[in-house]
Structure 1
């Protein structure tokens, strides 16, 4: 790679054109500029699987304190307790508080509840022959499931406010890294609400994650209460509850929409999963690999890093491009092909190392159950209208609309 070659590649994760079709740019990054430097935005980017994985696992060289988000979310929404943006030793202290809720054996106990949620949602459209999989299934599932885990209301006006704020928090304009006024208002409203609920849970704890936070100790050995005497929007405990609230829905929605979108495009694979549901967990992993919900994460170097003949100086912002790593030909055979029968392989959609995704077991459970319940009732389904991209941070790749048509069970076409 030469400097002149590198300059021919343009990676602008903030642009609408890039977001609509990132894959050709990713391929050029991997082939021509595996250590990319953006003069316009002042970041470096790693795009090959092994480079991204090594950086994700090296939490001493690549720190998170300047934020995982690559837009102004990192400086305007991040705060004490915002777990993805915290390095050790504080990271591990806070993660231990919530870790037990998300271990696989605990998550497995939620399967009946998840199945009940999914079945109720599918019942609403199964006899109509049309659905918007994003709006009717992919978004409602994680709201219902994760709100219950966290201890937030799943019905009523408070729930409506929380859903509206959660979307508002991600309100962005293309080609602009700044938060919109809608996002600012949602930020303040959400944190004020969480501070109020955490204060209430301290007086009246329940069997939920918010109660776990407010009754926890910082460290098992010193007995220091985690919650301060007075909880307000700037308290660390609110920051931790906020990041759980922020991360608990969008990634799962993205995974679900990708899975159904690609199965609509590959009906023979969908039929294979209906015939043999044992293949569904592999299909979930393929959907994660094929189109990672979290496309990129930011880090900051603590030292000079030499890679592929290029030196990234200490103190620089480095973007770990998970979406590109998952399509790396050096790691995956025919990576641009969606194939639910692909042999199991490690991917980077949930990252690795210190900041490996805490909620991965829950997202996998929700996606597996959604496919098990919905695919037999959809039968052969196809995309019936334009797909709409969700307006979110440039880190994320999520659908807002996925219209499909199908022949309801019991009818003939």
Structure 2
């Protein structure tokens, strides 16, 4: 086994400065004396910067456990099933899978299309829009909240609290704890109300009826699943959509190639997912002596898998800092890998497909607004805060 070899680099995914361009920072580490990085931030952790290193961590849960949490710093409660290893993780995934299959996502496509058109109708006559806050973020939430079982009327409240919790937990601990409590009270109250309400076919209904070893789930267990589902429903996929729209707004030739059929939509979508990498980081904890990216690790060491580093490894993807829409990027790490591969990936692909086709079909001449400067959120998820565009005004499709 190699010695305690690593490249010291104080990476912190919560640092807004690093979030603006993490890839240049990570490339320097990858090209240093050892592609295994070490940071003293957040209590100290190691981070692989190669594709093979990141994939190995995701693939080997017996060495790199999720039982200590997938967030850094750890969340206040464990999220199910992401903070579990098999076989417990497998049992939870089996329960949840039917809501997030490819068949379920495809069957939901007409509703998803209607939501996209409704949101575009709200600004299509204006000739300008913020595509993050007026389109991609509400589009994700409006798609996924009914699947989870939360009323759309609660969307503004949930979005505000959960987005704050994602991006501010290092800045205001008391505020973080307070919002966890408020969301917990909300979700447990929602579950209690649903237990005596007419039955519905959604994730919440599944959870209140599910039994493990002859016992119904506790309110806390329901909470631990739903809060993870809400984080996914209100943040991650919207950043892939907005990042894709940003690229296309800068590269009209790629719009043309997609609309003409020169490049197939599924191929381009995988490249957009690689290039944008909505979820940048996931934590694991070492439970036995091992080697990673040329360095030795010991039990108790924290490893931060940086999906964005894997997706920009030039040994895996040639010219990785360019978005090449006809590239075969199917092996990207934007959904993770192994047992914990993202359960919402099929819905994500349908939403990205619908988002891009609808935008280019209805407002194909949109362009990035003059003077717009991209500004990205920091934390495990990296996303554009706004995306200001201009276009030729067009007609509404829907009445009202």
8 Å Cα contact 2:6/2:37 also seen in 1: no
| Aligned counterparts of 2:321 and 2:3: Cα–Cα separation in 1 | 27
Per-residue deviation at 1:374?
Answer: 0.9
Query: Who is 1:169 aligned against?
Result: 165
Tell which deviates more after alignment, 89-98 or 260-269.
Answer: 89-98
Compared CA separation, residues 311 and 302, structure 1 to 2 (3 A):
same
| Aligned counterparts of 1:376 and 1:105: Cα–Cα separation in 2 | 25
- 139, 148, 151: which one aligns with 1:150: 148
Query: Who is 1:160 aligned against?
Result: 156
- 362, 365, 373: which one aligns with 2:347: 362
How big is each residue's C-alpha offset from its partner over 1:181-237, in whole Å with a ceiling of 9 and x where there is no partner?
Answer: 43322211111111111122222221211001111122xxx5x14323xx3xxx112
Query: Who is 1:208 aligned against?
Result: 202
8 Å Cα contact 1:387/1:403 also seen in 2: no
How big is each residue's C-alpha offset from its partner over 1:237-264, in whole Å with a ceiling of 9 and x where there is no partner?
Answer: 2111111112222111111111101111
8 Å Cα contact 1:172/1:391 also seen in 2: no
| Aligned counterparts of 1:55 and 1:126: Cα–Cα separation in 2 | 45
Per-residue deviation at 1:405?
Answer: 1.0
Question: Which structure 1 segments of 5+ residues have no match?
Answer: none
SS in 1 for 2:31: helix
1:82 has 2:80 as partner? yes
Q: Structure 1-normalised TM-score?
A: 0.88
What is the correspondence of 1:89-100 to structure 2 with a 5 Å cutoff? 89-100=87-98
Query: Who is 2:53 aligned against?
Result: 51
| Aligned counterparts of 1:12 and 1:160: Cα–Cα separation in 2 | 29
What is the correspondence of 1:173-252 to structure 2 with a 5 Å cutoff? 177=170, 179-204=172-197, 205-218=199-212, 222=213, 224-228=214-218, 231=219, 235-252=220-237
- 300, 314, 319: which one aligns with 1:329: 314
Query: Who is 2:7 aligned against?
Result: 6
Per-residue deviation at 1:275?
Answer: 2.3
Size of the aligned set, in residue pairs, is 390
1:338 has 2:302 as partner? no
Query: Who is 2:281 aligned against?
Result: 296
8 Å Cα contact 1:98/1:209 also seen in 2: yes
SS in 1 for 2:122: helix
SS in 1 for 2:163: helix
Q: Which has the higher contact order (CA 8 A, sep 6+)?
A: 2
Per-residue deviation at 1:160?
Answer: 3.1
Query: Who is 1:281 aligned against?
Result: 266
| Aligned counterparts of 1:143 and 1:306: Cα–Cα separation in 2 | 40
Compared CA separation, residues 36 and 300, structure 1 to 2 (3 A):
same
8 Å Cα contact 1:171/1:182 also seen in 2: no
Tell which deviates more after alignment, 177-186 or 25-34.
Answer: 177-186
